[in-house]
Amino acid sequence: MLYRLRNDFHLSVITLMNACAIVGITPFAVWRFLRGEYWIGLIDLGILGAIVGATLYAWRTHKTACTGLFLALVPCTGGAIAISLTAGEVGLFWLYPALICSFMLTRPLIAALLPLGALALLILEGSAFSSSQQIWSFSVTLLVVCACTYVFARRSEHQRNRLKHLALLDPLTGVSNRRALDEALARAVSEHERLGTEYGLVLADLDHFKRVNDTHGHHTGDRILVDFVGVLAFNTRRSDQLFRFGGEEFVILMSGTTPNGLQAAVEHVQSVLRKTLTSPSGPVTASFGTAILQRGESVDHWFERADEALYRAKSLGRDRIVSGDRSTSEALS
């Protein structure tokens, strides 16, 4: 539970809104009923019920985007309009928390349009305001708050997206990291099951890389890793995805490929590496393990087959390609 709250921004906002609604709206609803204002009390309970129900839905389904839009549209904006039309000018104050909540629940443009639409509707209906002066003063303050919140929300959204992007990148090589790999493999298995898309997995490991680091230092080792990534990226398709799994081990995820196509692609990469990748001690080679995703296969089993093929490539002398799809475990090139 705490893990999901820490790692899912929208779910944490929805949950926080739910807690605030229970603490903040429940006393108002009770107070309304005690005063005999039953219609307003029922509206309060309806808003509270919608928020609690939507929060439970988000926790069960993980669909936080549509839940946030529902909360911004129905209990926040719709509820604020209903309270304003029923309670009069006192209810107008509910538009401000509704506005702030909407910016945290959905996209900034939608969140900005909702209170503006609510304001236009209330002005046209007219009963919530006691004078034209109140209409102007309320409209100006709401517009100022809306504009400032919009700017802040856009800035926050940009920063969150950037942080999310950086969290999925390897800082040395600039390619995607292991966390991004886990997500990509899960998507690949899902697409294979739903659409029949063929996927190939390649594990690449530099040969005797520890010896390079020990002999020439980590600065040289880092340069070789960056050069290695450059060769892999330049000699694979744009649709292929490259990840750093850890240390000197990298993963290539290829879509729409066959066993023969996968073998040919890796042989081409290996050929280029033999000609271009060097250290002060001489050429640097790599070993490869490959596996085509099979029907009904899990991510773990698929990756394990490619990893075992890489291990066999290492044990058979390195600088070679071994396929995890063949009964004969060795494929030399």
Residue numbers annotated as active site: 248
Report residue 124: phi and psi, to 5°: -65, -40
Q: Are 203 and 249 in contact (CB under 8 A)?
A: yes
- Give the separation between CA 134 and CA 99, rounded to whole angstroms: 19
Smallest CA-to-CA distance from 113 within 69, 146, 83, 82 is with 146
Cα dist. 80→1, 96, 138 in Å? 31, 9, 14
- Give the separation between CA 73 and CA 117, rounded to whole angstroms: 11
Concatenate the DSSP letters of all residues of 258-292 into one string: -HHHHHHHHHHHHHHHHHH-EETTEE--EEEEEEE
- Give the separation between CA 62 and CA 60, rounded to whole angstroms: 6
Reduced to 3 states (helix: H, G, I; strand: E, B; else coil), residue 246 is strand
Report residue 8: phi and psi, to 5°: -125, 100
Cα dist. 8→58, 61, 71, 127 in Å? 11, 13, 17, 41
How many helices and strands in the chain, by DSSP H and E? 13, 7
Amino acid of residue 316: L
